[in-house]
Amino acid sequence: MLPSELAKRIRQLEIRTRKEVTDVMAGDYKSAFRGAGMEFDEVREYLPGDDVRSIDWNVTARQGRPFIKRFQEERELTVFFAVDLSASGYYGAGKSSKNDLAAELCATLAFSAVKNNDKVGLLLFTDRTELFIPPVKGTTRAMRVIREVLGFRPQGTGTDLAGAVNFLARVLKKRAVVFLISDFIGGGDYDKPLQLLAQRHDVVALQLTDDSEMTLPNAGLVEMQDAETGETILVDTASRAVRDAFAADSARRQALLTSRLQRLGVDQLPLATGHDYIRDLSAFLKRRTRRK
């Protein structure tokens, strides 16, 4: 049995995201991601202007006149969510944490996938593989994804992106759309495995952020703790020089991450807690569609 508070949150998230999928996301999602390939549709008689390379010579020989093969895009997709549940995901200066945002993203995209009859799977990871759910179709699997992202209690606190990516490379046999959902704080040297994964699959990095991670407020002496290592430092946020240095370092790290992901062939979408993620996600999917 689910705890009543968790069950309530799951139900609220289901209702809200189903409405968003119906009103906003359905067309954007379908247009932004291609199927796994092309599948045979039919044979029809050749017409002037058809590509002669499509001629079906066996049927042509039997019928005594030219026929061509027609193909259509294989629509069915495998959509996989790889969600970082390391300790830094519990952070959020406002009403919601980065993990809350991860759950909303998974719900929105999972219901979009269900609406398009796509398969949905899930990997939860920290500094280890926490949970793997293989991809299948249906609303039941989408609800399972939401429940696990919201309610799972991981054993690890750190982040091993390379380990998660290597795990995905082993278990995903067919081409898939992989949503790598993380704040990308730490994670180690994941360049080579992520580049190889992106060569075989359509990988999208949904980067979870919080505005307070980019700039410091003027709040005097503040003790800060690294959620993943437990290390604490005392920061004088009243100092303009300290605040400027923090903002500059945050901007530098963001630029480096963007450059890194571009070099590895991975699409990136930064999403901040407390912002309209549906608007940002929809705009991102429209941009992908225009590039196709």
Q: Which residues pair with 129 in a beta bridge?
A: 125
> What is the DSSP annotation of 99-136?
HHHHHHHHHHHHHHHHHTT-EEEEEEESSSEEEEEEEE
Closest CA to 57 of 43, 71, 47, 37: 43
In the chain, what are the domain boundaries?
4-30+76-291, 38-73
Distance CA 30, CA 250 (A): 34
Residue 256 is which amino acid?
Answer: L
Give CA–CA dist 172/135, Å, rounded: 9
Predicted confidence (pLDDT) per residue in 162-201, tens digit: 999 999 999 998 899 999 999 998 878 999 999 999 999 9
Q: Which residue ranges of the chain lie beneath pLDDT 50?
A: 1, 37-38
Tell me, which fold does domain 4-30+76-291 have in CATH? Rossmann fold (3.40.50)
DSSP string, 163-176: HHHHHHHHH--S--
Q: State the Cα–Cα distance between residues 248 and 13, nearest whole angstrom.
A: 36
pLDDT for 25: 79
DSSP code string of the chain:
---HHHHHHHHHHHHHHHHHIIIIIHHHHHHHS--SEEEEEEEEE--TTS-GGGB-HHHHHHHTS-EEEEEEEE---EEEEEEE--GGGG--SSSS-HHHHHHHHHHHHHHHHHHTT-EEEEEEESSSEEEEEEEE-SHHHHHHHHHHHHH---S--S-BHHHHHHHHHHH--S--EEEEEE--SSB-S-HHHHHHHHHHSEEEEEEEE-GGGTS----SEEEEE-TTT--EEEEETT-HHHHHHHHHHHHHHHHHHHHHHHHHT-EEEEEETTS-HHHHHHHHHHHHHHH-
Show the tokens assigned to 78: 């495998």
User: Are 81 and 125 spatial neighbours (Cβ–Cβ below 8 Å)?
Assistant: no
Q: Do residues 185 and 160 touch, judged by C-beta distance below 8 A?
A: no
Question: In angstroms, what CA-CA distances link 218 with 10, 212, 227, 242, 277?
Answer: 37, 11, 22, 10, 27
Whole-number pLDDT of residue 1: 44
